Amino acid sequence: MKQAKVSFLLLCVFIFVQISIADNGVHTDNIIVILDASGSMRDRFRADETKSKMDAAKEALKEVLAKVPDGTNIGLLVFSGRNIRDEWVYPLGPKDTARLIAAIDLLQPEGGTPLGRYMRIGANRLLEQREKQYNYGNYRLLIVTDGEAQDNDKVAQYTPEILNRQIRVDVIGVDMKTDHKLATDADSYRRADNPGELVAAVSQILAETGGTGTDIDGADAFEDIAPLSSEVAFDLIQRITTPPSNTAIATTVKQMPTQPKTSTQQPMRQPVQKRSGGNSGWLLIGLVILIAGFFIFRRIGR
């Protein structure tokens, strides 16, 4: 009976989350492409000299992004470039295929490779969007680059911060002699040594867009959680109800002051962060559902 109560409580949480997100219309996936438009992208592929790396990247992005499901939020960040006045070539927002393709067509390679700086800009924009969507949806950075970053110290600093905030990072190394340093840190890494491989790499990564993995039917949810032990079930409740951090990534890591070691020293408590948004009403509804479920099973238990 105790296990049935736990399962019912979990089911209430699932239903509460589904009702809330459905009503608020936050079933939206978010992709920010960080495209390298540095001077080296004008070079041609070593294995296929018919196209420059930039031309191939532009064609691949236009072809694949046009097929991304409608309703997806797309953003395009481009670093360097000859005629780029604004780092956001296409600000994160609903996909407008014609406007997106027009923005991609304008790009001309020139300049350096400040990848770390742009990773932080893209990640912080995704965190801002995730706060607006009550932590629901997919959030990912797709990095397309042909060389190591000039600011590798920033890449090393920001990458774990981004991953710890549950933003997915996919990297495509375009005709690189060796794998990019992000190959071992990113969620996925693909080599693209010719135009065909570049199209395939972008397609494979963006093919995963459109399913958040959090939609679940109530009956199926009950079947899935029924066999769980009380300990595992309560841990799952905590994970479901504890949102990922949407705190912006800082330009520098703040060092905590060294505390003197004493036998009576208490562990330092982290300040509780208040989340913005109109969730108070739904929280009240969720609590009512949970309390009602508890008393229903209490009666059954008798």
The gap from C-alpha 4 to its chain's centroid, in whole angstroms, comes to 35
Averaged over 53-62, what is the pLDDT?
96
pLDDT tens digits, one per residue of 39-51: 999 999 999 889 9
User: Cα 131–135–137 angle (5° rounding)?
Assistant: 115
Q: Is 251 among the domain residues? A: no
Q: Is 270 among the domain residues? A: no
Same domain, 58 and 192: yes
Same domain, 80 and 144: yes
What does the alpha-carbon distance between residue 287 and residue 122 come to, in Å, rounded to a whole number? 36
Are 58 and 206 in contact by the 8 Å Cβ rule? The answer is no
Q: Which secondary-structure segment (H or E) carries 141? A: strand 139-145
Q: Is the pLDDT of residue 276 over 70?
A: no
What does the alpha-carbon distance between residue 240 and residue 18 come to, in Å, rounded to a whole number? 12
Same domain, 121 and 144: yes
Averaged over 246-250, what is the pLDDT?
91
* Burial state string for 273-295 with b = 16 or more CB within 10 A and e = fewer than 16: eeeeeeeeebeeebeebeeebee
Lowest mean pLDDT among 19-23, 24-28, 288-292: 19-23
Q: Would you call 123 exposed, middle or buried from its count of C-beta atoms within 10 A (0-12, 13-18, 19+)?
A: buried
Averaged over 251-280, what is the pLDDT?
43
Averaged over 238-246, what is the pLDDT?
66
Same domain, 107 and 87: yes
pLDDT of residue 255: 46
pLDDT of residue 86: 79
Are 148 and 120 in contact by the 8 Å Cβ rule? The answer is no
Give me the number of domains the chain comprises: 2
Res. 257 pLDDT band, cuts 50 70 90:
very low
DSSP string, 7-45: HHHHHHHHHHHHHHHHHHT----EEEEEEEESGGGGSBP
Which residue type occupies 189? Y
pLDDT of residue 258: 44
- Average pLDDT taken over every residue of the chain: 78
Of 237 and 195, the structure prediction assigns the larger pLDDT to: 195
Lowest mean pLDDT among 191-205, 210-224, 237-251, 279-293: 210-224
Q: Is the pLDDT of residue 220 over 50?
A: no
Same domain, 34 and 45: yes
Same domain, 71 and 193: yes
Q: Is the pLDDT of residue 265 over 50?
A: no
Q: Is 160 among the domain residues? A: yes
Lowest mean pLDDT among 82-86, 168-172, 203-207: 82-86
Q: Is the pLDDT of residue 60 over 70?
A: yes
Q: Range of 13's domain?
A: 1-27+215-241+275-302
Look up residue 64 and give its DSSP letter: H
The CATH number that applies at residue 78 is 3.40.50.410
Are 123 and 186 in contact by the 8 Å Cβ rule? The answer is no
* β-bridge partners, 141: 32, 169
Q: Is the pLDDT of residue 83 over 90?
A: no
What does the alpha-carbon distance between residue 118 and residue 284 come to, in Å, rounded to a whole number? 40
Same domain, 19 and 35: no
Same domain, 2 and 142: no
